[in-house]
Structure 1
Amino acid sequence: MKLQSLVLAAATALTMTTAFAVPAGTWTVAAGAHYVDPKNDNGDVTIGGTSYAVDVDGDVRPTISGEYFIANNVGVELLAAIPFHHDFTLTDALNNEITGRTQHLPPTLSLQYHFDDYNLPMNVKPFVGVGVNYTMFFKEKANVVGTELKLDDSVGVAGHIGLDIPFAATESFRIDARYMDIKTDATLNGTDIGKIDISPWVYGVAFVKQF
């Protein structure tokens, strides 16, 4: 429902007209940091006939994004980051645990609409977007001797909502939140053990420069 709300907001915004304060051909670059906060229930996997509940922790890393305005107030944004690191815990019904870790890169491409010239307090500029996320997993490891863990790459829908607070003609402070649909198939020693559902909210702040 959260993702559906973001998609609906983005679709509604793209049909609106304004006085167009961000002209086509404008570039912006945003540099900051984001916290990946996985959903609470990350699914279950089965190892050797035993079912384990999966819990994935969060992580914060520096990020950078570039956006090009293909039309007035409508931009295409690409988000990039240095690899996020996640520890995970697998817990069975007897509270036996298997721990491990992985890294991932989540480049995300979004189509966004920026609300400008609405005479909002402090001249803030809200925006919404919807797009696609591609998550690449690597350096997977389960802390069990003699095992090899593999997490498949993931492709899913992403939603984006945020607020730019200008403090100069071409510079802003940004706060934003994204929802990313990230689900990965896991294998252990070549055997399918189930699907891990990370699907995080991603919260961030950034400095934005317009060119």
Structure 2
Amino acid sequence: MSRFTTQLAAGLLLAPALLAASAVQAHETGDIIVRAGVVAVDPQENSGNVYVGGANTGLEVGVDSNTQLGITGTFMLTDHLGVGVLGATPFKHDIQLKGVGRFASIKHLPPTVTLQYYPMDKSSVLQPFVGAGLNYTTFFSEDLSSAAEGLGFSDLSLDDSWGYALEAGLDYKLTEQVYLNATVWYADIETTATFRTASVPSKVDVEINPMIYMASVGYKF
């Protein structure tokens, strides 16, 4: 057998192993994927009317959007199931009292945990996923505007919220460890804002229900 034939035969025998080695595994059991990037929260609010001392004023509130730095983590339970966690730096929103103007500013954190499903084979370069889980939103730094305080408003407080969350996303493999990611969530966030109007107890119920968008770079450990 010639040297060329021997080399060719060896190459053919090694080809499956080389192909297997080149088929870099994307997401598989035990992997930890950390993604960091920008997160935008876009409230789709539906406000009830403001009540002052039990009387309906007919006024409503609105909540603006905000963008912050975000981080997510996924632990792969199997090749197709993972547990995902969403975190971010605090979001800040202005609250508008419709017909009056800027009413207050608030901050919140929306940590979210989901069970994720990855339908593709673990060797796929593209890894779409969907998830469902639980969102907890805590509000803090509730500050009334000077204009609102001048009108006699005081003592603003927002209740924390528990609700469901849905997500859909896509990881695109650049290298063995590095990914590009885009993810969107819908979070069920409902809160009651309580305050005082000229010392009279007042409140308004708000369904914030934001769409949350994230573009990030991921790293697999």
State the TM bucket, normalised to the shorter chain: 0.7 to 0.9
Q: Which amino acid aligns with 1:100?
A: A
TM-score (norm 2): 0.78
Cα distance change on mapping 1:46 and 1:124 into 2, 3 Å: same
Report what 1:78 is aligned to: 85
Deviations 1:93-138 (A, max 9, x none): xx33352110000000010011323997xx3211000010000000
Counterpart check, 1:138 vs 2:140: yes
Task: Pick the structure with greater CA Rg.
Answer: 2
2:184 is matched with which residue: 150, 167, 177? 177
Taking the aligned partners of 1:166 and 1:134, their CA distance within structure 2 comes to: 31
- Taking only aligned residues, the RMSD between alpha carbons, in angstroms, comes to 2.1
* Contact 2:27 2:123 (8 Å CA) reproduced: no
Report what 1:17 is aligned to: none
Taking the TM superposition and a 5 Å limit, the aligned residue runs for 1:1-211 are 22-47=27-52, 49=55, 50-91=57-98, 95-97=99-101, 99-117=103-121, 123-143=125-145, 144-145=148-149, 147-189=154-196, 191-211=201-221
* Contact 1:22 1:116 (8 Å CA) reproduced: no
Taking the aligned partners of 2:174 and 2:188, their CA distance within structure 1 comes to: 33
Q: What's the CA shift for 1:182?
A: 0.4
Greater mean deviation of Cα atoms: 145-154 or 55-64:
145-154
Q: Runs (4+) of structure 1 moved beyond 6 Å?
A: none
TM-score (norm 1): 0.82
Unaligned 5+ runs, structure 2:
1-24
* Contact 2:26 2:123 (8 Å CA) reproduced: no
Q: What's the CA shift for 1:46?
A: 2.0
* Contact 2:45 2:206 (8 Å CA) reproduced: no
Cα distance change on mapping 1:192 and 1:74 into 2, 3 Å: farther
Deviations 1:30-83 (A, max 9, x none): 101110000053333223532311110000000111111112221111111110
Q: Which amino acid aligns with 1:175?
A: A
Q: Which amino acid aligns with 1:134?
A: Y
Taking the aligned partners of 1:98 and 1:46, their CA distance within structure 2 comes to: 18
